[in-house]
Amino acid sequence: METETTLLPITVGNHNLADLAYDRILTAVLDGGFTPGDRLVMDRLAEDLGISRTPVRDALRRMESDGLVEPATKGFVIRTPGADNVRDMYEAREPVEGWAARAAAGRADDVRDTVTAALADLAAVPDAVASAAYRANRDFHRAIVVAAGNPVVVDCFDAIWGRGLAVLSFAESARHGSTVDVDEHRVLHDEILSGDGDRAEAEMLAHIRRGVASV
């Protein structure tokens, strides 16, 4: 179905309009303005955003590549992820983020400030704003992966979290009242900075498994 959601218009300046359109539409998905099954029509989106169809088309094609939308008559629709799809995404996180937590714990003294700053940013985000919570949550987990010191693993993380499934699963959780648990992330932070790789990896895996159970 076509949604009546109105997007905030984009102020044209020295920016990539396709990237800005992508970000605005993504934010609307996370905050519940668009939900799975909603139809996205280029002309309507361009009008709401105050830009031409071309950057909107480019943004939607990128979203299709990311798995967030799929083609439909006269536009695209927000994908409806299946339980198997979501489970696969969370399972893919385990070897990447589990290993990263262990490796980051081995570098605890060097990465303490970075990981602690990411936790502080997460704690400062209001639960009611799902898009901000999603980004802060992603940035906290990414800070841990970066702290592991392996850029290839960072690329793997970005590939997983850059897929539409990550956004759609978080948005689904938010719609059902599940928010980011800062205390749970604080435990993860503490285990990593303890320097104990076994405990850090175990807590990360438990955290990811609790996440899939909430979707």
- Over residues 175-212, the pLDDT tens digits come to 777 778 999 999 999 999 999 999 999 999 999 999 88
Evaluate if pTM is beyond 0.85.
yes
Tell me which of 26 and 2 has the higher pLDDT.
Answer: 26
**Structural domain range at position 71:** 17-78
pLDDT number for residue 153: 98
Residue closest to 148 by CA, chosen among 95, 209, 88, 91:
95
pLDDT number for residue 14: 45
Gap between the Cα atoms of 7 and 103, Å rounded:
42
Task: Indicate whether 5 belongs to any domain.
Answer: no
Would the CA dihedral through 106, 112, 114, 116 be positive or negative?
A: positive
Task: Indicate whether 151 belongs to any domain.
Answer: yes
User: 114-126 b/e with 16+ CB inside 10 Å = b?
Assistant: ebeebbebbeebe
If asked whether residues 145 and 198 sit together in one domain, one would say yes
- CATH number assigned to the domain comprising residue 149: 1.20.120.530
Task: Note the helical H segments in the chain.
Answer: 17-30, 42-49, 53-66, 83-105, 108-123, 130-147, 151-161, 164-175, 182-193, 197-214
Say if CB 125 and CB 133 are below 8 A apart: yes
If asked whether residues 74 and 160 sit together in one domain, one would say no
If asked whether residues 42 and 57 sit together in one domain, one would say yes
If asked whether residues 113 and 164 sit together in one domain, one would say yes
Task: Indicate whether 3 belongs to any domain.
Answer: no
Gap between the Cα atoms of 183 and 187, Å rounded:
6
Task: Indicate whether 192 belongs to any domain.
Answer: yes
User: CB neighbours of 143 closer than 8 A, spacing ≥ 6?
Assistant: 114, 115, 117, 118
Residue closest to 160 by CA, chosen among 82, 96, 64:
96
SS3 label, residue 150: coil
- CATH number assigned to the domain comprising residue 74: 1.10.10.10
Task: Indicate whether 7 belongs to any domain.
Answer: no
Tell me the pLDDT tens digit for each residue of 4-48. 566 767 665 546 899 999 999 999 999 999 999 999 999 999 999
